[in-house]
Amino acid sequence: MVYSGRAYPRYRRGGRFFGRRVNCEQVPLLPGWVVGRVLDDPRQIPYLLIWRNRSDGTVQEAVRVTSYGEPPNSFSLDWTGWIEIKRPYGSHTLVRSLLRPLPRHGGKARLLVCPCCQVPRRALYGWQAGGQYTNSAQTFGWQCRSCAGLRYSSEGSALVLRGRGFWFHALEAEYGTSRSPRPERWLPEVFNSCRQMAEAGFCSLT
């Protein structure tokens, strides 16, 4: 799946940022708390995660997430906390998760170890920066924001509204700098039964 926008300009004007920029809010996000639900489910069943286009509701990404473990043998590794993320066309990624204590109230958070940099993260992303345009994203293995080459939408004052003319500068001097609202993260819809999928319109019960 590719998210695309304007093509690379040959030069820049006005000293503004030039280069590839893909905001992480435009990319499917797999948070650690969703993985925690999969691992804590006593039924040990696969979960279906679907990311739909925010404007027209079409499915942009879908994966099956299940706990992973190999049959025991004399040389078996510890697969506790591992999951398998599988796409419909067959590609799959193995990801290790960890439980880390929170600084307050004695709780714990489920972190996902990025397969690329091996650093525990709160979430992984399914697309990476790449393609024909400066803000194109293309399907890739699940990895952290840094390894995927993604930015936050607020980085570099990108949400600051800029304008020209006397009236705009007068309003800015009176009320301060105006900013666009930060976009919401692209979280998945989570399904763990055929009934839930039928209610969402993805299948029918017979």
Domain spans of the chain? 2-9+26-199
Query: Residue 183's pLDDT is what?
Result: 76
State yes or no: pLDDT of 129 exceeds 50. Answer: yes
Say how many CA atoms lie within 13 Å of 198 toward its Cβ.
6
Instruction: Band the pLDDT of 6: cuts 50, 70, 90.
Output: very low
Query: Residue 103's pLDDT is what?
Result: 81
Query: Residue 102's pLDDT is what?
Result: 83
Pick from 85, 81, 105: which is nearest to 93 by CA?
85
Question: How does pLDDT run across 100-127, given as a tens digit for each residue?
Answer: 988 877 788 999 999 999 999 999 999 9
Q: What is the C-alpha separation between 26 and 39, in angstroms, rounded?
A: 27
pTM, entire model: 0.76
Question: How does pLDDT run across 65-85, given as a tens digit for each residue?
Answer: 999 977 666 566 777 899 999
